[in-house]
Amino acid sequence: MNPLNQYFSTPYNTAPFSKIKTEDFLPAFKKAITKAKAEIDAIVNNPDAPNFENTLEALDFSGQELNRISSIFFNLNSAETNDAIQKIAQDVSPLLSEFSNDIALNEKLFQRVKAVYNIKDTLDLTEEQKTLLITNYKSFSRNGANLPEDEKEKLREIDKELSQLKLKFGEHVLAETNNFEMLITNESDLSGLPDGAKEAAKQLAESKQKEGWLFTLDYPSYIPFMTYADNRELRKTLSLAFGSKAFKGDALDNQDIVLKIVKLRYERAQLLGYKTHAHFVLEERMAKTPEKVQEFLNELLEKAKPAAEREFANLQDFAKELDGIDNLQKWDSAYYSEKLKQKLFNLDDEQLKPYFKLENVILGVFTVAHKLYDLNFEEIHDIDTYHDDVLTYKVTDKNGDLVSIFYADFFPRQGKRNGAWMTSFKSQYIKDGKNERPHISIVCNFTKPTKSKPSLLTFNEVTTLFHEFGHALHGMLANTTYQSLSGTSVYWDFVELPSQVLENWCYEKDALEDFAKHYETGEIIPMELIKKIKESSTFHEGMQTLRQLSFGLLDMGWHGLDPSNIKDVKQYEINAFKDTQLYPDIKENCMSTAFSHIFQGGYSSGYYSYKWAEVLDADAFEYFAEEGIFNKTVANKFKENVLSKGGTEDPMVLYKRFRGQEPKPEALLKRAGLIEK
């Protein structure tokens, strides 16, 4: 029997990873798709008149086995992939795309949904039920239900091709990341690097039976080298390798894929009656239109650019004065920024890292969640995982009731993509009177422990952990009836609020004192370091803001206009960056060919949402700061109106219910030091 098609009789109904073989996935998917189709047929062929329960509710609860298998498989494809899994992903993606199109273009099903939608004002529905009805109706119309048959067929073809292109894009980026290695055999070339980075590089070389120190494009290897290595030529080598991923004109090149993706997305939007892909996407976002996004990005650009230009001029002067650098390049950015930061604040990551042992930071984020939301975390060892690195926790509330199962996977390895993300293996929903609790996971790529040191995090990694844990809380505290509206199933420009707001606690004395303790002496982080962390938090904020805005503008450039005549990816990108560029362009580099957020992930026409959510999070945290960062009343309002509600209501309605007003950008601009406090 295929374990994936059974009920998981495991502790807490968790995924039975040790029993699942790679070859189980394809047959399991096929069987689950057949089952899900039968469930849809039962809805369509129900002889009773369409109503909310027999149509909308039945539709939401259909395909649960398929959803579960998909979440397990695609999480593995991101965190523990191999050639066989990638091959299955290529085979499965068109099947899933075809299945979702079968639903989206099912005329009889749409007619049933439409029949209920047409009488919605006469029905006694809760807010959540209204949202489910409207969301489903719009989902059908936005996916072609009102199109004639030949255009529906065209849509199917586009979706199938897009699903394969996105996978291929991601595979190329991962292969390029894994293929590059820089082996250093002369110890003098390591000058400037902290001992921890050297030891990690030595261990990596040994693990591959090599003599010397090995550096890769994985962030825990790449970032320290770019930040601290004195050897400018080697920084250049590493930077060029990182910046030229999938842009070498070889078998792993993504330029044609980028052009195909944007043209197909545009064609799809036109088919559905939208001006561009961005117009299609943004209809279901807080921002609503590309014009509004452009206005938002330009307003921030206007505020940030003068500060960014001042900061860049200062950095140029500093690099010239220190090392006679006449032409500051991208591979100098992190190195001289760190040197200048040390000079101005007498603070560097190496000074801070001893206070941020991974285990302590985990305990710290758990403590913050306990103080705010009365959550308790207990590490448990009877749950299957997909890798020995993965930690598992049982999360309970103050009454001891189960809130969630929580997985945490912290270290880089072959087969795991770069970056950090939150995901789930099982969603929350309420069925037959039972509140099914979610299984939530965060995946990161932090510095591994070495023979002599535990995993010590940079401050940036600390904020990353808090960020992903903020997403995890959104998933864990979900409390909705319907799976499709649960947890992080919210508008994309709202989803980053819970994650980004939690980062603020990393800068607060009352929170830091709970967990920032020296890993050898147990000494609590000194007040002067906390003060410096706060003061330095706005260091180069103008340049950082400009960088984020450049990515948002590039995204809108690809998706907010007709891309039909674009022939040259690099040239188009240069044009999109013209208002935000500080460093000279590097001809070998291209951002778009490795911009996984928008070409593989779900951020197309949505990259602006990081900045949008920063406006929300700064405004929200101002409320916490005014009342006390662990104030239970404010925390409870945030939990009840934001974290538990998922996508059950319009996010602006939820936000105003929490805050009492719409968010204002002033809090962000003040926090960033871009306007006077």
Which residues contact residue 378 at a Cβ distance below 8 angstroms, ignoring those fewer than 6 apart? Answer: 393, 394, 396
Report the C-alpha gap between 423 and 488 in whole angstroms: 9
CB atoms within 10 A of CB 297: 23
Q: Which two tokens stand for residue 245?
A: 């991923």
On the 0-12 / 13-18 / 19+ scale of CB atoms within 10 A, 564 is exposed
Report the C-alpha gap between 222 and 228 in whole angstroms: 10
Tell me, letter by letter, the H, E, C secondary structure of 78-136: HHCCCHHHHHHHHHHHHHHHHHHHHHHCCHHHHHHHHHHHHCHHHCCCCHHHHHHHHHH
Structural contact between residues 505 and 536, judged by C-beta atoms closer than 8 angstroms = no
* Amino acid, res. 557: G
Which residues contact residue 393 at a Cβ distance below 8 angstroms, ignoring those fewer than 6 apart? Answer: 377, 378, 379, 380, 405, 406, 407, 408
C-alpha separations of 226 from 229, 320, 544 in Å: 6, 18, 16
What stretches of 180-248 show up as alpha helix (H) in DSSP? 195-207, 219-228, 232-243
DSSP state letter for 23: G
Report the C-alpha gap between 84 and 321 in whole angstroms: 53
C-alpha separations of 73 from 86, 162, 417, 475 in Å: 10, 19, 15, 19
* Amino acid, res. 100: S
11: Cα within 13 Å, side-chain hemisphere: 13
**Residue 111 CA to its chain's centroid (Å):** 36
Report the C-alpha gap between 315 and 337 in whole angstroms: 7
CB atoms within 10 A of CB 250: 9
Structural contact between residues 395 and 376, judged by C-beta atoms closer than 8 angstroms = yes
Task: Please say if 468 is a catalytic residue.
Answer: yes
Q: Ramachandran region of residue 274, left (φ > 0), alpha (ψ -120 to 50) or beta?
A: beta
Q: 3-class SS at 182?
A: strand
* Amino acid, res. 675: I
What stretches of 560-602 show up as alpha helix (H) in DSSP? 569-576, 596-599
Widest pairwise Cα distance in the chain: 82
Catalytic residue among 65, 468, 496, 573: 468
DSSP state letter for 538: T
DSSP state letter for 299: H
Which are the catalytic amino acids? 468
